[in-house]
Structure 1
Amino acid sequence: MRILFAGTPEVAVPSLRALVDAGFDVAAVLTRVDAPVGRRKVLTPSPVATAAGELGLPVLKANRFTPDLIDHLGTLGLDAAAIVAYGGIVPPAGLAVPAHGWVNLHFSVLPAWRGAAPVQHAVLAGDDVTGATTFLLEEGLDTGPVFGVMTETLEPSATSGEVLGRLSHSGAVLLVQTLSGIQAGRITATPQTGDPSSAPKLTIDDARIDWTQPAVAVRRRVNAVTPEPGAWTTLDGQRVKLGPVTPAPVPPAPGADAQEADAPGGRSAQAPPAPGVVRVAGRQVVVGTGTEAVVLGALQPAGKKMMNALDWARGAAARGELVFE
């Protein structure tokens, strides 16, 4: 089967490599144009462009489908096109080019989380299950009929980056199986069923932590925006980036032994810090939320590198009470 591959970020690279390894004839790779990276804004090829170069594949770079691009795709004799996080809309004229259409690998169990940030929204919502779907691309946003689905358990401790890393590989297997099934005439697409949900891109403002929220909501938001766009809060008006947090153990009340503290009707535990208040508890740094505290593992103060939260807290203790805003 002669195919076009369209993709841009690192999560699309396993799919490209898997298709090549499976023996598909990749006529060309379509990716977005080189983008500025780093503080010096150096124009850098996308991860997919880099991988395509390593594989010796022709690369087309475009952020939108111009008539010239569509005409060129029409000369490639495409049986199908595989698309994974390309980052652009394929217009009707482009959709009509491959004989079997465009097969999209989407990192959710559709119709859940249609949109640009499905994994982030699944983590933010506290879903128990996530996965990937292959479907036939059409004009609607992730609305096309489904070819195949794979699922996995979504652990409460998982960040979006970790989940995407896993799904990029398991989803690549699903994409290969889907295109192989289409080639052999063994599978057809069926309409999506169930209630759809939307997953728009999360912004920097969405990544700010509200410490008055319950601990479980704070943890989910931090995990959802890790590594991008990155969780943050402020301290004395300056932005502080945050690493993942974990639930804080509830300490026993002063003077209570462990058995008494755990017993029904035993003395109450020491009150957690108020929302946003930072406290060193033994060898842990805890931060108050709207319910119980959370443990902070790492953070990045303004103008510095990411560092261990305990080292930071000990160094900042001379400033008096530390309160995230």
Structure 2
Amino acid sequence: MSVHLEKRILVTGGAGFLGSHLCERLLGGRTSVLCADNFFTGSRRNIQPLLQHPGFELVRHDVTFPLYVEVDQIYNLACPASPIHYQRDPVQTTKTSVHGAINMLGLAKRTKARILQASTSEVYGDPLFHPQKEEHWGNVNPIGARSCYDEGKRCAETLFFDYWRQHRMEIKVARIFNTYGPRMHPNDGRVVSNFIVQALLGRDITIFGDGSQTRSFCYVDDLIDGLIRLMDSSAEVTGPLNIGSPEEIAIGELATAIRDLARSKSRIIIRPLPEDDPRRRRPDISAAQRLLGWAPSTDLRTGLSRTIAYFEQLLVEQGSAALLEESSARA
């Protein structure tokens, strides 16, 4: 006997780190998931277990082009999110954020779907206020090497709220802070994956800057829970809402913690800080707590242990050379 699926949900960037976890979580109950990805940074490996699920469908698609499907909800996660990836083709990165938002908003308008934009803490730039509240307009360099991502995401937020004002659409905007967990690219330039890979391979753990700069790291399961709660909240809750961990840690302390958890003897070395790299980053999540009843529940040590275990298994399966090259793998 066939089962009627009540919702069809589109996840753009669904084969990526966050997207694959979101697709997996959504495939419960009476929900079908359409995963759209151009595999610029996404990987078929991330969604391989989902391909046999009767409610899962994969389409290879670039969001800079329109997509004509029938859906009830849209999670717009498509965009390279690490500096190594988004600076590889900065013009395409901006197009993905801006044209992608226009195309997905157009689809949502036609289908009357509720749509969520995965924005970023990078809209705050090098913040003038700490911790960062949603009311902060940001301190962003519009012409720097990171601007393709920062300003692309800021423009996407503008488009979402213009569509909301002009067309009365149901929108949600989540400002995602640093997130980590299984399925991260081993060589994507992000601090957690970098440190773990270097520690497991016994290589020097490289810190950019003096290690005093801080970040707040949210485990992926908690982040996905926040996105779903935001999507399913009342229509009046548009955001933007900070979704991330308020637990702040210095990068030098993070490197030491990962080295210890990985039982590594790697040295910790210092390199110059990249251009426009923010000194401090921690979300004020009081709005998400009040409006969604959400706060992360996975402590950093537990989350890091799970992530290290994932990379250890990847190392066993693919070897050290493949581990370092995994980020360039394609479907």
Quickly name the TM-score band, shorter chain normalised: 0.3 to 0.5
Q: Which has the higher strand share?
A: 1
More helix by share: 2
TM-score (norm 1): 0.39
> Structure with the greater relative contact order (CA < 8 A, sep ≥ 6): 1 or 2?
2
Which of the two has higher C-alpha Rg?
Answer: 1
